[in-house]
């Protein structure tokens, strides 16, 4: 069974990688771009949709301002990208926003940022995978109604790929991401050419009439209209998610790390801006009608289209128009768009484990998250992220519209605190810097981060105001829960460190017990018992005795007879058990030894069977497990397990081939 599981693991994940090969897993810019940019680039597939969906509430006239809303998003993106280029140069260790906030604003601000990012990474996977599942369902009718199961399966697949290592996953995902860039670039270029030459066809939904929802008959006029525009802007700002992943992943870049990360960040921003504006402009040029409630809001000849109407995503409608007559390009756009939505989750699979490792190193998360797995990936962090995202997808039934309302709150919390931290960083650096050119560079960087602080803070307020009641409160609650949990983990580790510290009285810590009282637990006189007695005698305790529990008088009499016949040099003590218990009499006896001689160390030797099958474990060692679990909580007591390997355990260590090989070579 063990060999079979190991073979399956090697087949899925590959052979283990030596620690000294870590440098070979670092990413060049051509691989780092698809690894870290897929999240932000995938926003192109749903951020324009969300802008149009929100504006459609006010009717057809409201859609005309969609490019202006997009320009607002672009302005924020330019500011954030410029700000984060300062971050990666100032803090290249990979802590990203968490490190910036912790160093400049204090540990609690750092944990606040970390909790926001962790929640946002989980939401990134849930939103991206769910969106990809919805796209797949439109292309493959058999998947309709099974989007949730399909989305969870995609999470499992991404998990397996990422467990193989960062470089391997990056290489696997590079081609689809670059194909998406090519497809979107072709859509923009061909669409612009056909628009200016007057050959651009109308979208499939252009002949439909879009009516406003109740309460928005006056369009965007008044307070409600202004609030709707702000809500559309907040939804469009989902395009900024993923920008922070590069600052968290600087250690994964090849040297010079900071410069390569900054260059990748600039490429990411440029490509994202070009894509989102191209889609919004083409949507207006082709007359795309995209409604939040298409069955009621979209009319054909004055009659609602009804529930049977299938509203295709904006990119699908644009591709059908722009590439009219070129079905291959249309299919390419549909396929790569669905892929990029799935692969966007890969950014989180790279960011979450690295951030989790740093938090575990600092004592805010379980230490298991700090260690690398067989393939030098942070395996425990990858599995944790996958499990959390799968639960979220199942809970929200893979509905992007429901999940998107929880989105981007966390990332803008981290954006805002990070920019505030950078402003303080440059202010502190300017107090000691005297070189004019360096001071000029720092002043310029502080101005950039100050503008970034104002911009991201404003967006955060807008997001909270427009999305709080729509579901953002769930994300905020999750951040609070994660924050409290991380503080609790940190307090626990701090208390353990204080409890285990030597302190000033080192000599007292070195003090040995006055005596060692060894107790060998005996049930029968057989080979495991003889081995336990031999081990106990080899340790040369001051007191050595064998102890059995008298459950059955006949068994006790037989054991005494065997003991005397074997002429063993160890006294056998029988503990009375009128209620046929084993654990309680042993505990009472051990505690009586401690009570009579508090400075004595009591060592309890427990023979245990080593078995090869899981079902055999159910048939053996149950009394030993109960005893150990109780004795471990008794001060001044050491529990020593004495193993006896049964025949079924042979070949279960996984080291037999390793041991046999050298022996053959020596012979």
Query: Which of 47, 71, 166, 80 has the alpha carbon at shortest distance from 411?
Result: 80
What integer is the mean pLDDT of 5-14?
A: 53
CATH architecture of 512-666: 3-Layer(aba) Sandwich (3.40)
| Helix (H/G/I), strand (E/B), else coil: 310 | coil
User: With 50 as the cut, is the pLDDT of residue 556 above it?
Assistant: yes
- Give 106-141 pLDDT, tens digit per residue: 999 999 999 998 998 898 888 888 877 876 776 677
Specify whether the backbone of 145 is left (phi greater than 0), alpha (psi in -120 to 50) or beta.
Answer: left
> Is the pLDDT at 16 greater than 80, yes or no?
no
Residue 48 has pLDDT above 60, yes or no: yes
Over residues 553-582, the mean pLDDT reads 89
Query: What does pLDDT average to over the chain?
Result: 81
Alpha carbon 601 to its chain centroid, in Å, reads 45
Q: Any idea how long the chain is?
A: 667
- What string of H, E and C letters represents the secondary structure of 521-572? ECCCCCHHHHHHHHHHHHCCCCEEEEEEEECCHHHHHHHHHHHHHHCCCCCE
Which one, of 581, 575, 526, lies nearest residue 549 by Cα?
Answer: 575
How does pLDDT run across 160-179, given as a tens digit for each residue? 888 876 555 556 667 888 88
β-strand pairing of 637-645 with 601-610: parallel
| 200-204, 206-210, 369-373: which is most confident | 200-204
Torsion of CA 323, 327, 329, 335, to 10 degrees: 120
SS3 463: helix
| CA 167 to each of CA 8, 74, 96, 518: distance values in angstroms, whole numbers, following the listed order | 21, 31, 20, 54
- Mean per-residue pLDDT for 44-49? 76
Report residue 519: phi and psi, to 5°.
-125, 120
Beta-ladder partners of 518: 544, 603
Q: Is the peptide bond before 256 cis (omega within 30 degrees of 0)?
A: yes
pLDDT bin (cut points 50, 70, 90) of residue 189 is: very high
Residue 548: φ, ψ to 5°: -130, 160
* Weakest-pLDDT range from 288-292, 402-406, 518-522: 402-406
In three-state secondary structure terms, 104 is helix
Instruction: Give me the pLDDT at residue 505, please.
Output: 60
Is 459's pLDDT higher than 80?
Answer: yes
Helices (H), 14-65: 29-56
- The conformation of residue 609, written as its DSSP 8-state character, comes to E
More confidently predicted of 85 and 604? 604
- Alpha carbons 107 and 104: distance in angstroms, whole number: 9
Q: Backbone phi, then psi, for 309, in 5-degree steps? A: -70, 130
Q: What is the pLDDT of residues 246-284, one digit of tens each?
A: 776 777 787 888 888 888 888 888 888 898 899 999 999
Distance CA 404, CA 44 (A): 14
Whole-angstrom distance, CA of residue 345 vs CA of residue 348: 5
Percent of the chain that is helix, strand, coil (3-state, to 5): 70, 5, 20
Domain residue limits, the chain: 29-307+320-492, 512-666
CA distances in angstroms from 364 to 360, 384, 486, listed in the order given: 5, 15, 5
pLDDT score recorded for residue 497: 82
**Superfamily for 29-307+320-492?**
Amino acid/polyamine transporter I (1.20.1740.10)
Cα 252–chain centre separation: 17
For residue 598, which of 637, 648, 640 has the smallest C-alpha distance? Answer: 637
Helices 29-56 and 107-139 cross at an angle (nearest 10°) of: 80
Inter-residue contact 265 to 248 (CB < 8 Å): no
Domains 29-307+320-492 and 512-666 share a fold: no
Kindly state the percentage of the chain with pLDDT values over 70.
85
The band of 548, judged by pLDDT with boundaries at 50, 70 and 90, is very high
Tell me the mean pLDDT in the region 101-109: 91
Q: What is the pLDDT of residues 230-256, one digit of tens each?
A: 888 887 887 777 777 777 677 778 788
Contacts of 586 (CB under 8 A, 6+ apart): 521, 547, 549, 575, 604, 627, 631
Question: Looking at the predicted structure, is the pLDDT value of residue 199 above 80?
Answer: yes
Confidence of residue 404 (pLDDT cuts 50, 70, 90): low
219 pLDDT above the threshold of 70: no
Instruction: Please report the pLDDT score of residue 657 as a whole number.
Output: 44
* Highest mean pLDDT: which range of 223-227, 254-258, 598-602: 598-602
From 517, 274, 372, select the one nearest 18 (Cα to Cα): 372
In sequence order, the β-bridge partners of residue 517 are 543, 602
pLDDT in tens, 50-96: 888 888 887 776 678 888 888 988 898 888 888 888 888 788 776 67
| Residue 4, pLDDT above cutoff 60 | no
Range of lowest pLDDT (10-14, 332-336, 544-548): 10-14
Question: Minimal CA–CA distance to 585: which of 557, 556, 608, 560?
Answer: 556
- Please check whether residue 541 is in contact with residue 593, taking contact to mean a CB–CB distance below 8 angstroms: no
Contact 275, 189 (CB under 8 A): no
- Please give the average per-residue pLDDT across 520-545, as a whole number: 92
Rounded distance between C-alpha atoms, residue 394 and residue 451, angstroms:
40
Mean pLDDT for the stretch of residues 594-598: 87
Q: How far apart are CA 609 and CA 617, in angstroms?
A: 9
pLDDT band at 483 (very low <50, low <70, confident <90, very high): very high
Element (H, E) at 576: strand 572-576
- Which helix H or strand E contains 520, and what residues bound it? strand 516-521
Give the pLDDT band of residue 660 (cuts 50, 70, 90).
Answer: very low
- Running DSSP on this structure, what letter comes out for residue 511? P
Q: Cβ-count burial of 506 within 10 angstroms (0-12 exposed, 13-18 middle, 19+ buried)?
A: exposed
């Amino acid at each position: 069974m063990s060999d079979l599981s190991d073979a399956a693991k090697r087949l899925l994940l590959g052979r283990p990688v030596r620690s000294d090969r870590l440098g070979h897993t670092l990413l060049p810019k051509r691989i780092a771009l698809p690894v870290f940019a897929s999240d932000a680039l995938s926003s192109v597939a749903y951020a324009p949709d969300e802008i149009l969906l929100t504006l459609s509430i006010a009717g057809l006239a409201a859609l005309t301002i969609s490019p202006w809303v997009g320009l607002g998003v672009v302005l924020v993106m330019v500011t954030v990208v410029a700000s984060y280029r300062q971050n990666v140069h100032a803090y290249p260790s990979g802590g990203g926003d968490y490190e910036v906030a912790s160093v400049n604003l204090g540990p609690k601000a750092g944990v606040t940022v970390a909790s926001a990012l962790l929640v946002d990474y989980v939401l990134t996977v849930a939103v991206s995978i769910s969106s990809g599942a919805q796209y797949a369902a439109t292309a493959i009718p058999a998947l309709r109604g099974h989007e949730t199961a399909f989305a969870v399966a995609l999470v499992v697949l991404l998990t397996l790929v990422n467990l193989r290592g960062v470089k391997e996953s990056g290489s696997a995902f590079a081609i689809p991401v670059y194909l998406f860039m090519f497809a979107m670039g072709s859509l923009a270029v061909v669409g612009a050419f056909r628009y200016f030459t007057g050959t651009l066809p109308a979208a499939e939904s252009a002949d439909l009439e879009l009516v406003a929802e109740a309460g928005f008959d006056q369009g965007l006029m008044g307070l409600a209209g202004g609030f709707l525009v702000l809500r559309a802007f907040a939804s469009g700002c989902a395009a900024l998610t993923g920008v922070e992943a590069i600052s968290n992943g600087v250690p994964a870049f090849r040297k010079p790390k900071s410069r390569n990360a900054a260059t990748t960040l600039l490429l990411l921003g440029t490509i994202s801006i070009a894509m989102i504006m191209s889609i919004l402009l083409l949507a207006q040029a082709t007359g795309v009608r995209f409604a939040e409630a298409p069955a009621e809001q979209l009319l054909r000849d004055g009659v609602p289209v009804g529930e049977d109407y299938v509203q295709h995503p904006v990119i699908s409608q644009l591709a059908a128009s722009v590439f009219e007559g070129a079905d291959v390009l249309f299919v390419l756009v549909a396929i790569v768009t669905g892929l990029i939505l799935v692969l966007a989750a890969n950014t989180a699979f790279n960011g979450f484990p690295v951030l989790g490792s740093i938090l575990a190193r600092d004592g805010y998360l379980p230490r298991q998250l700090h260690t690398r797995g067989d393939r030098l990936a942070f395996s425990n962090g990858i599995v944790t992220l996958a499990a959390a995202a799968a639960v979220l997808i199942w809970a929200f039934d893979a509905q992007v519209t429901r999940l998107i309302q929880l989105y981007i709150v966390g990332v803008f919390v981290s954006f805002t605190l990070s920019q505030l931290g950078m402003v303080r960083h440059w202010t502190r650096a300017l107090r000691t810097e005297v070189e004019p050119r360096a001071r000029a560079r720092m002043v310029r960087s502080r101005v950039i981060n100050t503008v970034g602080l104002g911009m991201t803070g404003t967006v955060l307020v807008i997001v909270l105001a427009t999305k709080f009641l729509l579901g953002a409160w769930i994300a905020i609650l999750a951040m609070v829960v994660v924050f409290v949990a991380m503080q609790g983990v940190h307090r626990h580790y701090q208390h353990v460190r204080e409890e285990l510290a030597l302190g000033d009285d080192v000599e007292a810590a070195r003090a040995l017990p006055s005596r060692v009282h060894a107790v060998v637990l005996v049930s029968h006189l057989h080979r495991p018992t003889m081995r336990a007695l031999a081990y106990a005698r080899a340790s040369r305790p001051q007191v050595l005795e064998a102890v059995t529990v008298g459950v059955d008088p006949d068994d006790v009499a037989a054991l005494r007879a065997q003991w005397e016949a074997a002429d063993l040099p160890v006294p056998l003590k029988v503990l009375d058990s009128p209620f046929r218990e084993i654990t309680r009499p042993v505990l009472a006896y051990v505690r009586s030894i401690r009570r009579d001689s508090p400075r004595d160390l009591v060592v309890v030797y427990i023979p245990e069977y080593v078995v090869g099958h899981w079902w055999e474990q159910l048939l053996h060692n149950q009394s030993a497990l109960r005893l150990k679990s109780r004795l471990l909580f008794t001060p001044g007591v050491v529990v020593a397990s004495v193993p006896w390997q049964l025949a079924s355990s042979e070949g279960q260590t996984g080291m037999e081939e390793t041991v046999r090989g050298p022996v053959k070579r020596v012979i």
